[in-house]
Amino acid sequence: MLFIVSDLHLGDGTTANSISPSAFQVFAKRLQETAYFASWNKDGRYAPIRDIHVILMGDILDPLHSTRWLDTLPGDANYIRPWSDPASPQYANKLMEVTLAILEENKEAVEVLRKCANGELISLSPADRRGNPDYQSSEQLRIKVNLHYMIGNHDWYYHLQGEAFDLIRREIIEKMGLSNPESPFPYDESESPLLKDLFDQYKVVAHHGDRYDKFNFDRDKGRDAGTIGDAFTMDVCNRYPIEAQLQYGDHLPAGIVDSLRRISNIRPVLAAPLWISGQIKSHAGTRAVENKLKKVWDRIAAEFLELDFVRKADKAYRFDMVDTLQLIIKISGHASFSTINDVVLWVRKKMWGVKHSFASHALQEPTFINNQNQFVVYGHTHQYEIVPLGMQAAPHAESQVYFNSGTWHSYYDLAIKNPKEQQFVPYQALTYVTFFRPDEHDGRRFETWSGAYA
């Protein structure tokens, strides 16, 4: 039995909150229930499954959404950011600091995963001689949950090589109960013979999917490098509430800074200005407050665009992601947030549309083309999907399906009715995808579960 989850975005509490630990308790119960049903084969006989595999498919821990990186500024001797040189001693030290803070902040949730991995939470009754569960047996079979960590664009740092990063991975492995070795956590199955064998058993190909997002993946540099999306998240989204508090904290309406901290939960991320102006309307609605917060925005936006990393990312004679950000955030000091909002909405429609799906990329997967695998799974977009791709050629003639594994996250999604009104709908989402071998779950091949609550 193979579970795939992604995009948990467990943070250190310095920006928005992570999903509640109760979500992990719900997941453990679902593992228990599904393990029982998976133990019945298509002939109606019960044979307890021996193990469960859970793929944590990227953006599980989220070092990027931590303000701990912001304790230095450009020009400081110890300046460090997620896109700095990983060979710098300060880099691994900062990543260790942030990682330990994340694990501590989410220790209740992480403990649920560790207990699952240790065989403490999932158990099954043994089978009797007739192939039925022996509910009267005093012996319960403890089922180990094998947790496999793959990286995405918010936790790619755990893919870096070196002894210092091995030590960081060791902390994660011990706290979460992972099955990974201390070597770099894999980006796709080609980096792990164990994952490749596991995916082949279930006829699955799976990776985070960020490679199809030019805002968060640099095709020239590959996955072991920061992106313009990292820089925007860190030096604009993470930094803005801090600077607003430092400059005008005593003169701002109660609650507005805390609401601005939730900017890291906004979807899409480039709708950040819409969220800011919406919070101003909700908490104060005065021109004086807007002017103060707009001054902060103008200053950090200008400083962001002058970052050496951002300037180097700007490609001459091409309308690229830096140009997009300039349209969104480098508005003259006399422009209001409403002007920026108009630009945001235009860019969103021009470049992404209302829905951002990676389903078409699944058609180009080599294992899909050669009929080796039936199922393609990506994460990253936070939008749960199941999309029929086609049918395998004879003699297999099996259906081929694309899934997006959604998210476990608390976030605020921009309403489509009238985006200029800056309406964001808050909720928590919890999604996973499960695959079965032919001898599991009455011959069923897959099932998905997606829930949301507010």
Q: Is the pLDDT of residue 21 over 80?
A: yes
Q: Are residues 327 and 234 in the same domain?
A: yes
Q: Band of the pLDDT at 332, cuts 50, 70, 90? A: very low
Query: 186 with 50, same domain?
Result: yes
Q: Which two tokens stand for residue 233?
A: 């998240």
The answer to whether the beta carbons of residues 371 and 396 sit under 8 Å apart is yes
Q: What is the pLDDT of residues 126-139, one digit of tens each?
A: 999 999 999 999 99
Please classify residue 145 by burial: count the beta carbons closer than 10 Å to its beta carbon, then call 0-12 exposed, 13-18 middle and 19+ buried.
buried
Among 301, 331, 352, residue at a domain's last position: 352
Grade residue 331 by pLDDT with cuts at 50, 70 and 90: very low
* Chosen domain end from 303, 334, 352: 352
Report pLDDT for 253.
75
The parent domain of residue 82 ranges over 2-209+358-412+425-453
Question: Is there a single domain that holds both residue 77 and residue 181?
Answer: yes
In a domain, 418, yes or no: no
Q: Is a pLDDT exceeding 90 seen at residue 390?
A: no
Residue 96, token pair as written in the block: 């260790």
Whether 184 is in a domain gets the answer yes
252's CB contacts (< 8 A; 6+ apart) are 244, 245, 284, 289, 292, 293
Q: Do 369 and 347 share a structural domain? A: no
User: Do residues 61 and 199 share a domain?
Assistant: yes
Q: How far apart are CA 86 and CA 80, in angstroms?
A: 9
Q: Looking at the structure, do residues 185 and 241 belong to the same domain, yes or no? A: no
Q: What is the domain count for the chain?
A: 2
Same-domain status, 304 and 368: no
Asked whether residue 219 is domain-assigned, the answer is no
Given 319, 337, 352, which residue is the final one in a domain? 352
Distance CA 292, CA 294 (A): 5
Do 340 and 364 reside in the same domain of the chain?
no
Q: CA-CA distance, 341 to 270, in Å (whole number)?
A: 10
**Rounded mean pLDDT, 221-228:** 94
Q: Looking at 19-23, 166-170, 303-307, 421-425, which range is the least confident one?
A: 421-425
Helix, strand counts (H, E) of the chain: 15, 13
- Is the domain of 237 the same as that of 376? no
Domain membership of residue 222 (yes or no) is no
What one-character DSSP code corresponds to residue 320?
-
66 and 170 share one domain: yes
Judge whether 85 lies within some domain.
Answer: yes
The single residue listed with the structure tokens 């300046």 is: 79
CB 72 within 8 A of CB 79: yes
Does pTM surpass 0.75? yes
Over residues 281-291, the mean pLDDT reads 71
Q: What percent of the chain has pLDDT over 70?
A: 80
pLDDT of the residue at 336: 54
Taking only the tens place, the pLDDT of each residue in 81-117 is 999 999 998 999 999 999 999 999 999 999 999 999 9
Same structural domain, 270 and 319 = yes
Residues 341 and 395 in one domain: no
Tell me how far apart the alpha carbons of residues 84 and 32 are, in angstroms, rounded to a whole number: 43
Residue 236: phi and psi, rounded to 5, are -120, -65
Q: What single-letter amino acid sits at 432?
A: Y
Beta pairing, strands 385-391 & 144-150: unpaired
Spatial separation of the C-alpha atoms in residues 419 and 367, rounded to whole Å: 40
Distance CA 233, CA 266 (A): 11
